[in-house]
Amino acid sequence: MALPAGFRGLPDGGPLRYTPDMATENHHDDPLEPLVAAEFPVAERHIYLNHAAISPWPERTRRALQDFADGITRDGSLHFPEWQDKERQLRQRLAHLVNAPGPESVALVPNTSAGLSLVATGLDWRPGDNVVITDSEFPSNRMPWEALADQGVEVREAACTPAGEADCEANVLRLVDERTRVVSISSVQFGTGRALDLERIGRELAGTPTAFCVDAIQSLGAFPFDARAVHADFVAADGHKWLLGPEGLGVFYCAPEWLEGLRLHQWGWHMAEPFGDFDARQWEPAPTARRFEPGTPNTPSNHALEASLSLLQEVGVDRVGERIRERVDHLIAGLEDLPGVELISPVDPDRRAGIVTARFGDRTDTVYQALRDAGVQVLPRAGGVRFAPHFYNRLSELDRVLEIIRAA
Ligand SMILES: Cc1ncc(COP(=O)(O)O)c(C=O)c1O
């Protein structure tokens, strides 16, 4: 088989991998190239387009975790005050990322599912209440609501497919009535990559008894996000996708007016006020989002996520978003030029995010396999192949991907 330019076998005889040093295109004009080269060794081995699943870590994130491991291995808990500083910095960064009024509005949670479950188990449900979601949610934003069936809660699914045509926002709002306690939707749908107009929905719900909850895992870190501008009451996301961080550490934003409105179901020393007084027999849940954090924090991951966010915030999330958009536009334009390609993702720029999903007729499996064999990291989703580039992917990598698809 003739190899497309830019491909060769690894010295260890492993699978064929793309090697950017063999690429014909010149990416050295990119002012971010030195940072990309220093922070993303993943690009030396793969064309990594799987940021909607699990992202590779930047080099500084690996170093942060390594330093933490070295410290605790050598000195045990001696550096505890520094760990607490790191945690404070992380909260600041997360608060900034979602535009919370301050770090006291964000809780560190294990994942998105845990954050969404805090809302589902925390609201005071009455039989006959309902929740509005869409027909394209990841299980984590469906199951917590479906689990309320035994309390007489109905889950309503708004039509959001086909992703390029359905007026998803209007369909969501149409399902809302006086018994709707919460509208819970993902900012970007995991399969099709459709971005929802959060502001349009949040504006309609603001001032009504219906709360607005956003699963932001498929956009946080990739694009600017403003919980207050979209009138979100709750936001949940995890660190391992567009935030380029570790698995098992996410963020839960709770609008200040809701802090006392969610019934708590988990208890432990870390959420108590006064904080750190293990002899106190009188305590209250913290008046901040720390009330959602019952026990010992995930300190290793706090270090890793703080490092990842430092990179994103150094580049600037605005700029990250512009670059992702440029990459997505490039990919869509290339795919539209190929015969027999069906785009599942919306082509309307207002509905695009960082995910491009495409079907290749009865060649979809073949194309997917050809990409994987060539070291292109993608996944099958929504009946097609899902491409999810981040800001550091080189445009030349996307051209390679298009070549492989054409050849397949
Ligand atoms: C939209 C969406 N929500 C939630 C999740 C996962 O949630 P968690 O952070 O709980 O693993 C995913 C993972 O793919 C997702 O795409």
What whole-number distance in Å separates Cα of residue 251 and Cα of residue 122?
17
Indicate the pTM of the whole model. 0.93
Q: Which of 117, 213, 215 for mutating ligand 1's site (highest number of atoms within 8 Å of CB)?
A: 215
Please list, in sequence order, all residues whose beta carbon lies within 8 angstroms of the beta carbon of residue 226, skipping any fewer than 6 positions away: 98, 99
By alpha-carbon position, which residue is closest to atom 2 of ligand 1? 138
pLDDT beyond 70 at 10: no
Residues 358 and 336 sit within 8 Å (Cβ to Cβ): no
Q: Which amino acid, 304?
A: A
Identify the residue whose tokens are 């996000």. 225
Quote the Cα angle for 222-233-155, to 5°.
Answer: 95
**What's the pLDDT score for residue 166?**
82
pLDDT beyond 50 at 146: yes
Q: Which of 119, 135, 140, 213 for mutating ligand 1's site (highest number of atoms within 8 Å of CB)?
A: 140
Closest CA to 328 of 320, 316, 338, 318: 320
Q: Which atom of ligand 1 is nearest to the CA of 238?
A: 9
DSSP run (H or E) holding 183: strand 180-186
Q: How far is the CA of 300 from the centre of ligand 1 (A)?
A: 21
Q: Is 152 left (phi over 0), alpha (psi -120 to 50) or beta?
A: left
Q: Which of 108, 112, 118, 357 for mutating ligand 1's site (highest number of atoms within 8 Å of CB)?
A: 112
Q: How far is the CA of 167 from the centre of ligand 1 (A)?
A: 23
Exposure string (b/e) for 332-341, b if CB count within 10 Å is 16 or more?
A: bebbeeeeeb
Please list, in sequence order, all residues whose beta carbon lies within 8 angstroms of the beta carbon of residue 239, skipping any fewer than 6 positions away: 245, 246, 247, 248, 249, 250, 251, 301, 304, 305, 308
pLDDT beyond 50 at 18: no
Interval 334-383: pLDDT, tens = 999 999 999 999 999 999 999 999 999 999 999 999 999 999 999 999 99
Q: What is the DSSP letter of 58?
A: P
Domain 32-57+317-407, architecture per CATH: Alpha-Beta Complex (3.90)
Cβ neighbours, 10 Å, residue 354? 28
Q: Which atom of ligand 1 is nearest to the CA of 190?
A: 16
Counting every residue, how long is the chain?
A: 408
User: Average pLDDT for residues 310-317, to the nearest whole number?
Assistant: 98
Q: How far is the CA of 187 from the centre of ligand 1 (A)?
A: 11
By alpha-carbon position, which residue is closest to atom 3 of ligand 1? 138
Interval 86-132: pLDDT, tens = 999 999 999 999 999 999 999 999 999 999 999 999 999 999 999 99
- What the block records as the tokens of 251 is 């963020």
User: Average pLDDT for residues 381-390, to the nearest whole number?
Assistant: 97
**What's the pLDDT score for residue 204?**
98
User: Which residues contact ligand 1 via a Cβ below 6 A?
Assistant: 111-113, 138, 140-141, 186, 190, 215, 217-218, 238, 250
For 189, how many CA atoms within 13 A lie in the half-sphere containing its CB?
Answer: 29
Find out if CATH 3.40.50.620 is the number for domain 65-314.
no
- Angle between helices 299-315 and 80-98 in degrees, nearest 10: 40
The percent of residues above 90 in pLDDT, for the chain, comes to: 91
**What's the pLDDT score for residue 26?**
52
By alpha-carbon position, which residue is closest to atom 7 of ligand 1? 112
Q: How far is the CA of 353 from the centre of ligand 1 (A)?
A: 16
Q: How far is the CA of 301 from the centre of ligand 1 (A)?
A: 18
By alpha-carbon position, which residue is closest to atom 14 of ligand 1? 53
Q: What is the DSSP letter of 391?
A: T
pLDDT beyond 50 at 20: no
Domain spans of the chain?
A: 32-57+317-407, 65-314
Q: How far is the CA of 193 from the centre of ligand 1 (A)?
A: 13
Which residues lie across from 384 on neighbouring strands? 381
Q: Which of 54, 118, 196, 238 for mutating ligand 1's site (highest number of atoms within 8 Å of CB)?
A: 238
- Angle between helices 395-407 and 364-373 in degrees, nearest 10: 130
Q: Is 184 left (phi over 0), alpha (psi -120 to 50) or beta?
A: beta
**What's the pLDDT score for residue 17?**
41
Q: How far is the CA of 348 from the centre of ligand 1 (A)?
A: 24
Q: How far is the CA of 137 from the centre of ligand 1 (A)?
A: 9
Interval 39-66: pLDDT, tens = 999 999 999 999 999 999 999 999 999 9
**What's the pLDDT score for residue 29?**
87
Closest CA to 91 of 69, 108, 114: 108
**What's the pLDDT score for residue 1?**
29
Q: Which of 116, 119, 138 for mutating ligand 1's site (highest number of atoms within 8 Å of CB)?
A: 138
pLDDT beyond 80 at 248: yes
Q: Which amino acid, 217?
A: I
Residues 74 and 68 sit within 8 Å (Cβ to Cβ): no
**Mean pLDDT for the chain?**
93
What whole-number distance in Å separates Cα of residue 160 and Cα of residue 90?
35
3-state secondary structure of 77: helix
By alpha-carbon position, which residue is closest to atom 8 of ligand 1? 112
